[in-house]
């Protein structure tokens, strides 16, 4: 997993809970990198899980909630860092449909060793509902949920998101806009 994801995670923790919490989480997680991440470095994605489990133990907030909150935060960081990706997207569903075919394709050019998920998207008749099937050996469904929520917020879109586990460890996200 790219260091940029870890850097943003620790930035979020610092903004919400202060630097002492960052130190406590890293110390308790005892991650191989020692918590010293650089944006362009690459680290085992399990370190992210270890950091979140550690934060959950300290704060009492369930890991799924922490990962989802982080996904939402991450979306606005990524969007602010890459304004060119936001240009030309009409609305949230339009943007989400382009994650697989454009956004992550460009991300791969920037970071050839990025570990990206796969999405299969299907717009439902009427155009207001998008089915997105997430597939990744890293199983960051909760981060994905947060990224979708962050995207909806970014576009000021009023929407409901439902999740359904599918066979093969995939997850279907049903995004219903009004």
**Which residues make up the interface to ligand HEM (CB under 6 A)?**
1-2, 4-5, 75, 78-79, 82, 85, 96, 99, 103-104, 107, 111, 114-117, 136, 138, 140, 143-144, 147-148, 151
- Shortest-Cβ-distance residue relative to ligand HEM: 136
**Helical axes 46-59 vs 63-81, angle rounded to 10°:** 120
User: Smallest gap, in angstroms, from Cβ of residue 104 to ligand HEM?
Assistant: 6
Nearer to ligand HEM, 12 or 148 (CB): 148
User: Smallest gap, in angstroms, from Cβ of residue 126 to ligand HEM?
Assistant: 21
Nearer to ligand HEM, 58 or 135 (CB): 135
Nearer to ligand HEM, 82 or 153 (CB): 82
């Amino acid at each position: 997993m790219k260091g940029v994801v870890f850097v943003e995670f620790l930035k979020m923790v610092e903004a919400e809970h202060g630097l002492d919490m960052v130190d406590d989480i890293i110390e308790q997680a005892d991650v191989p990198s020692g918590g010293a991440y650089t944006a362009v470095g690459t680290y085992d994605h399990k370190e992210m899980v270890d950091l979140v489990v550690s934060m959950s133990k300290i704060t009492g907030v369930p890991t799924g909630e922490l990962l989802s909150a982080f996904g939402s935060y991450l979306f606005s960081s990524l969007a602010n860092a890459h304004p060119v990706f936001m240009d030309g997207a009409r609305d949230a569903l339009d943007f989400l449909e382009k994650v697989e075919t454009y956004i992550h394709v460009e991300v791969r050019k920037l970071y050839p060793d990025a570990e990206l998920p796969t999405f299969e998207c299907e717009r439902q008749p009427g155009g207001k509902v998008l089915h997105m099937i997430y597939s990744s050996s890293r199983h960051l469904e909760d981060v994905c949920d947060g990224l979708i929520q962050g995207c909806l917020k970014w576009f000021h879109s009023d929407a409901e998101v439902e999740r359904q586990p599918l066979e093969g460890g995939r997850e279907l996200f049903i995004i219903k806009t009004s």
